[in-house]
Amino acid sequence: MSEFKLHEDRFFDTDPTVRRYARELYNEIKDLPIVSPHGHVDPAIFVENKPFPNPAELFISPDHYVYRMLYSQGIDLEDLDIPQRGGVRSGKDPREVWQIFADNYFLFNGTPSGVWLNHEFNIVFGIKEKLSGENAQNIYDEISEKLQQPEFLPRNMFKNFNLEVLSTTDAAADTLEHHKIIKESGWDGRIVPCFRPDAVTDLSNPDWRKNIEELQKVSSVEITTYQNFIKVLEERRAFFKSMGATSTDHGVLSPYTTKLSEKDAEDIFSRALRGESTEKDAVLFTANMLMEMARMSCDDGLTMQIHAGSNRNHNKVIFDKYGLDKGCDIPQSTEYTNNLKELLNTYGNNKNFTVIVFTLDETNYTRELAPLAGHYPAMKLGPAWWFHDSLEGMNRYRHSVTETAGFYNTVGFNDDTRAFVSIPARHDVARRVDANFLAGLVARHMISMAEASVIIKDLTYNLVKKAYNL
């Protein structure tokens, strides 16, 4: 089998002039620290700092990009030992799970997952053959052996990845115990929480009342009224901020925003506590809570993120058995101009407020989002997100938004991953895409190489630190 080695000019344009400029720009920023302002890596791995159990547990179990593709080809999640609700697992031998993965590795050709995995195997672990069914067990053994070495412990990988800061995503009722232990351990790796209150602001969540009870347990206030609910959320935000949080995150189906009167909000909240809220109540309450979160961000300085347009848990069979975040979320068309109008008119001119808006609806970039971000001082465009955080997706993003919003109304790159070892791969792709895009502008004499050199550093490092107050 021929040696597996990633090309140093991968993803750059085939035009020799553009490629030369892209290589030069990429080399200027390839070694800059990684700032990961939004993700889902479990902070517990840095508390325990133990070797990852095996390759399947590292590459497959936490990565819904991977098992989503395998499931689409008829491979049962039980055969991949994916955790079910309550943490129940099939107990499948990890070597067998790995063999299934390797036998089907060809499925990832041409996909962002394939790009990231190739980087992880070749660059992070030094694997010299491309994974296949034939070499699966040999590569499993090679990775297993390396996982026992000190350099592959989570904290050392954090340093080797050149991670400057990593943000997790945490529920409003989370005690942040792992973050506290990390801070008190003396380790200098910077792991910060992000406040995500969806579980208690979305009345359509079947566990909403249970989640309210959890929130009440960690607060000093009995949550029997809407007013007390708001007070507790303000207190929780303050706690998160004291633990290092610089942002909040809101995953909503629609970015609709509207401010309810105190009476209407109280009435809806009371109906929800009694289990009598309607679908219309849920829509209005979420819209109202986005307004409340924006108000709070103006007061406490936490950057607000809105991830809209994901029709979550589309596959009810998978959701019922495996729960949230198992890869069966589907993008849908999303409107922003009218839905965000009340929020932006109320807070979008406030210089103390930053709201970063993400979309899964690419048709919106040029039509609505770039013009909105190109006007309102508070609004910034989130990078190409899930389903579009790929070579072509990020390239389309830059082409769609730059002419109207410019570079400086964007905020760098978010890896948004649970798969810790994929972080450097994802950021490397983003850096190459941006270098290549800027190289094209230089080749067409739209900007100078000196200007491109400044912009690439800002896109890679400075804009994300500014937007997230990092």
Q: Can you give the pTM of this predicted structure?
A: 0.96
* Element of type H or E holding 300: helix 279-300
Q: Which 3 state secondary structure label does DSSP give 149?
A: coil
Between CA 325 and CA 395 the distance in angstroms is 26
Taking only the tens place, the pLDDT of each residue in 225-252 is 999 999 999 999 999 999 999 999 999 9
Mean pLDDT of 148-164: 98
Give the least confident one: 192-206, 323-337, 356-370, 439-453. Answer: 323-337
Distances (CA, A) of 379 to 146, 197, 351: 44, 21, 10
The CATH 1.10.2020.10 domain(s) of the chain lie at 51-152
State residue 263's pLDDT score. Answer: 98
Taking only the tens place, the pLDDT of each residue in 362-396 is 999 999 999 999 999 999 999 999 999 999 999 99
pLDDT at 459 over 70: yes
Q: Which 3 state secondary structure label does DSSP give 164?
A: strand
Tokens 């690439």, residue located: 456
Q: Confidence band (pLDDT; 50, 70, 90) for 324?
A: confident
State residue 87's pLDDT score. Answer: 86
Taking only the tens place, the pLDDT of each residue in 113-143 is 999 999 999 999 999 999 999 999 999 999 9
State residue 325's pLDDT score. Answer: 77
**Token pair recorded at residue 60:** 């497959």
The CATH 3.20.20.140 domain(s) of the chain lie at 16-50+153-467
CA dihedral 35, 38, 41, 46 (to 10 degrees): 50
Q: Considering the chain, what is the average pLDDT of its residues?
A: 96
Contacts of 270 (CB under 8 A, 6+ apart): 225, 226
Residue 62: other Cβ atoms inside 10 A: 22
Report long-range pairs for 172-177 (Cβ below 8 Å, ≥24 apart).
172/196, 172/197, 172/199, 172/200, 172/215, 172/233, 172/236, 173/199, 173/200, 173/211, 173/214, 173/215, 173/217, 173/218, 173/236, 175/218, 176/239, 176/240, 176/243
Residue 175: other Cβ atoms inside 10 A: 13
pLDDT at 286 over 70: yes
Find the radius of gyration of the CA atoms of the chain: 23
**Token pair recorded at residue 40:** 């889902």
Contact 386, 416 (CB under 8 A): yes
Which of 385, 345, 325, 328 has its CA nearest to residue 361? 385
Which of 353, 416, 343, 417 has its CA nearest to residue 380? 353
**Token pair recorded at residue 389:** 């955080």
CATH 2.60.40.10 is right for the domain spanning 51-152: no
Taking only the tens place, the pLDDT of each residue in 393-431 is 999 999 999 999 999 999 999 999 999 999 999 999 999
Q: Which sign, positive or negative, has the C-alpha torsion 373, 374, 378, 382?
A: positive
State residue 2's pLDDT score. Answer: 66
State residue 201's pLDDT score. Answer: 98
Mean pLDDT of 332-352: 97
Domain 16-50+153-467 superfamily per CATH: Metal-dependent hydrolases (3.20.20.140)
Mean pLDDT of 191-219: 97
Residue 22: other Cβ atoms inside 10 A: 28
Contact 362, 396 (CB under 8 A): yes
State residue 147's pLDDT score. Answer: 97
Taking the CA of residue 328 as centre, how many other CA atoms within 13 Å lie in the half-sphere pointing to its CB? 16
Taking only the tens place, the pLDDT of each residue in 24-79 is 999 999 999 999 999 999 999 999 999 999 999 999 998 889 999 999 999 999 99
